[in-house]
Amino acid sequence: MRTAKGGERDQQMSMTDKEFTDLQLRASICPELETAWDPPTSFLHWAHIHEAAQELRAVVGHVRAGVEEIERDKDLTPDARRRKQHELARQTMDHLEQLPIIEKARQSVGDITAKWQAKIDAVLTRPTAEDAATAVLFWEVREKFSSLKGTERMNWIEKFGNDPLVPSALLHGPAGLTNLCEAEAALLRSKVEALADPKITEAKGMVTRAMADLERGYRAAPSLVAQCAGLPGVARPLHTQPATLATPPTTVTKPPKAGGPNWPSSHSSSPAWP
How do residues 79-99 score in pLDDT, each as one tens digit? 999 999 999 999 999 999 989
**pLDDT above 70 covers what percent of the chain?**
76
What does 17-52 look like in DSSP terms, one character per residue?
HHHHHHHHHHHHS-TTTTTTSPPTTS-HHHHHHHHH
Domain tally for the chain? Answer: 1
- Asked, for residue 35, whether it belongs to a domain, the answer is yes
Residue type, 205: G
State the pLDDT at residue 233: 62
CB 51 within 8 A of CB 40: yes
pTM of the prediction? 0.70
- Asked, for residue 192, whether it belongs to a domain, the answer is no
- Asked, for residue 95, whether it belongs to a domain, the answer is yes
- Asked, for residue 21, whether it belongs to a domain, the answer is yes
CB 52 within 8 A of CB 102: yes
- Asked, for residue 190, whether it belongs to a domain, the answer is no
What does 174-186 look like in DSSP terms, one character per residue?
-HHHH---HHHHH
- Asked, for residue 128, whether it belongs to a domain, the answer is no
Q: pLDDT confidence of 174, banded at 50, 70, 90?
A: low
State the pLDDT at residue 251: 40
Of the candidates 123, 129, 197, 120, the one whose C-alpha atom is nearest the C-alpha of residue 165 is 123
What is the greatest pairwise CA distance in the chain? 106
State the pLDDT at residue 125: 84
Residue 212 has pLDDT above 80, yes or no: yes
- Asked, for residue 6, whether it belongs to a domain, the answer is no
Q: pLDDT digits over 39-56, tens only?
A: 888 799 999 999 999 999
- Asked, for residue 68, whether it belongs to a domain, the answer is yes
Instruction: Give 233's DSSP letter.
Output: S
Q: Which domain holds residue 72?
A: 17-116+215-229
